């Protein structure tokens, strides 16, 4: 048969939560008189009743709502709320010790346990327990990031995160994302508008640098009632140093790798009617063949080429450096394109000896192509991964922390 104390504890736990409950305790029963047969007196029942919100066994609990404990005909001596991994959740008692409220945020989709000790006016103490599980946030925030995990990239590659909703609590979101490098270097975040955050160092990465990106966005409130969902770590490696200069005045592309010129190719850029953006542009995408339709860049029906070879994206607005098999006599001589930089190629991207194929095969996502003498203004830093066109002080001014 169970002892009185054990029976008391089970009774309290089973009936406590959601509605007021009588707490019965055996820890302050005193030295009551002995009855016949020499048995001890039963412990006194506590008159204190406890209500816990949320109820014991509740699921899908709102993670933003505080946990509360209320006691009638008694006081709260101690309240402990623990979450995943045994982490204690802070809270505070009311001055009269009749209530307790959590004052630290809860996690989503997580289990919690609460334990409370009460004392009634007669000094009788009792214990109570409850358990519940939080649900998922109703509104979420997800960031699409580049580069991908385990990639090897060029020295100009920033970390770029585009969110699927507007971020108003920019400091909280930025603090939840850490970017570190080995060897160490200062890395600063910059917001482009309300839904994109990029990180980069002051100068291009050193070849061989190992970069780690930690996204600790889960349950971070990005805007009112909208919470992040991601908790992951991404790593990438910086490869050899390759930068190129596309001089549209001399119609030549000069490639420099690890401090030495390794190639020079004749090119054709944007015509006077459709000049090419100037400035430093990072290769953000490589496509062996792709369709280019002028209607997608607001140029009407001027062209629609189904199989543009060796295409490497330089801006979000449609600037590429790519192979060209349909123009003759232009490379190295005249700028005739609608804004892209072209190199000689063959249809089908089948000849590795062409200038376009050679440049494509030597390039990495994250390599920098700088366009000069194009007759156009410097590209908007937000148009592609092109934050290198912003000086360091301006870049740092765009940080929220």
Between vectors from CA 334 to CA 331 and to CA 336, what angle results, nearest 5°?
90
CA distance 110 to 208: 40
pLDDT of residue 44: 76
CATH 2.40.440.10 domain residues, the chain: 242-389
Q: How many CA atoms lie within 13 A of 95 on its CB side?
A: 0
**pLDDT tens digits along 31-59:** 333 333 444 455 678 999 999 999 999 99
Q: DSSP label at 250?
A: T
Q: Residues 6 or more apart from 118 whose CB is under 8 A from it?
A: 23, 46, 48, 50, 71, 74, 75, 76, 77, 125, 126, 127, 128
CA distance 308 to 250: 24
Q: How many CB atoms lie within 10 A of CB 55?
A: 14
Which contiguous run of DSSP H or E holds residue 232?
strand 231-238
139-239: which CATH topology?
Immunoglobulin-like (2.60.40)
* All CATH 2.60.40.3780 domain ranges in the chain, comma separated: 4-27+42-133
Q: Which residue has the tokens 């004749």?
A: 266
Model-level pTM?
0.85
Q: Report the C-alpha gap between 273 and 338 in whole angstroms.
A: 8
* Amino acid 297: pLDDT: 83
Give the span between the Cα atoms of 112 and 85, in whole angstroms: 10
Which pLDDT tens digit goes with each residue over 361-376?
999 999 999 999 999 9
Compute the distance between CA of residue 320 and CA of residue 298 in angstroms, rounded to an integer.
16
d(CA 114, CA 88): 10
Residue ranges of the chain that CATH labels 2.60.40.3710: 139-239
Topology adopted by domain 242-389:
L,D-transpeptidase catalytic domain-like (2.40.440)
We find that the CATH architecture of domain 4-27+42-133 is Sandwich (2.60)
3 state DSSP class of 362? helix
Do 141 and 230 contact (CB within 8 A), yes or no? no
- pLDDT number for residue 222: 98
Rounded mean pLDDT of 18-41?
38
How far apart are alpha carbons 313 and 328 in whole angstroms?
A: 23
For the chain, state the CA radius of gyration: 33
Contact 231, 287 (CB under 8 A): no
Chain-wide mean pLDDT for the chain?
A: 90
Q: Which carries the bigger pLDDT value, residue 293 or residue 77?
A: 77
| In the chain, % of residues over pLDDT 90 | 85
Query: Is residue 241's pLDDT more than 90?
Result: yes
- Could you give the residue ranges of the DSSP H alpha helices within 275-365? 355-362
DSSP, collapsed to helix, strand or coil, labels residue 353 as coil
CB 67 within 8 A of CB 91: yes
Catalytic amino acids?
Answer: 322, 340
The answer to whether 156 and 147 have CB atoms below 8 angstroms apart is no
- Distances in whole angstroms, Cα of residue 166 to Cα of each of 6, 141, 192, 381: 54, 9, 11, 20
CA distances from 59 to 56, 223, 274 (A): 9, 25, 60
137-179 pLDDT tens trace: 999 999 999 999 999 999 999 999 999 999 999 999 999 999 9
């Amino acid at each position: 048969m169970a002892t009185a104390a054990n029976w008391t504890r089970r009774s309290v736990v089973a009936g406590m939560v959601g509605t007021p409950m009588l707490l019965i305790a055996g820890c302050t029963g005193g030295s009551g008189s002995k009855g016949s047969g020499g048995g001890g007196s039963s412990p006194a029942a506590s008159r204190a009743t406890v209500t816990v919100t949320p109820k014991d066994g509740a699921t899908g609990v709102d993670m933003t709502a505080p946990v509360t404990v209320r006691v009638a005909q008694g006081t709260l001596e101690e309240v402990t709320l623990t979450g995943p991994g045994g982490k204690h959740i802070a809270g505070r008692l009311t001055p009269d010790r009749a209530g307790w409220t959590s004052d630290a945020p809860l996690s989503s989709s997580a289990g919690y346990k609460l334990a409370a000790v009460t004392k009634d006016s007669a000094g009788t103490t009792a214990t109570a327990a409850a358990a519940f599980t939080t649900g998922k946030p109703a509104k979420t925030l997800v960031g699409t990031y580049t580069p991908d995990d385990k990639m090897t990239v060029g020295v100009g590659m920033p970390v770029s995160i585009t969110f699927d909703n507007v971020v108003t609590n920019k400091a909280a979101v930025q603090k939840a994302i850490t970017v570190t490098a080995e060897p160490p270097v200062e890395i600063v975040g910059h917001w482009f508008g309300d839904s994109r955050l990029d990180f980069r160092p002051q100068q291009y990465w050193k070849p061989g640098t190992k970069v780690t990106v930690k996204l600790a966005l889960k349950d971070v409130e990005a805007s009112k009632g909208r919470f992040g969902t991601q908790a992951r770590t991404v790593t990438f490696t910086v490869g050899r140093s390759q930068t190129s200069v596309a001089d549209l005045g001399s119609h030549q592309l000069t490639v420099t790798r690890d401090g030495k010129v390794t190639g020079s190719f004749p090119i054709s850029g944007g015509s006077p009617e459709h000049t090419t953006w100037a400035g430093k542009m990072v290769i953000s995408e490589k496509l062996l063949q792709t369709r280019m339709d002028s209607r997608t860049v607001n140029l009407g029906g001027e062209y629609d080429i189904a199989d543009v070879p060796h295409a490497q994206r330089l801006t979000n607005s449609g600037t590429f450096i790519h192979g060209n098999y349909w123009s003759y006599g232009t490379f190295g001589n005249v700028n005739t394109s609608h804004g892209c930089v072209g190199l000689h190629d063959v249809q089908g991207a089948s000849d590795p000896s062409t200038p376009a194929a050679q440049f494509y095969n030597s390039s990495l996502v994250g390599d920098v192509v700088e366009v000069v003498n194009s007759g156009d203004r410097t590209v908007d830093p937000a148009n592609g991964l092109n934050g290198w066109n912003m000086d360091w002080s301006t870049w740092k001014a765009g940080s929220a922390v």
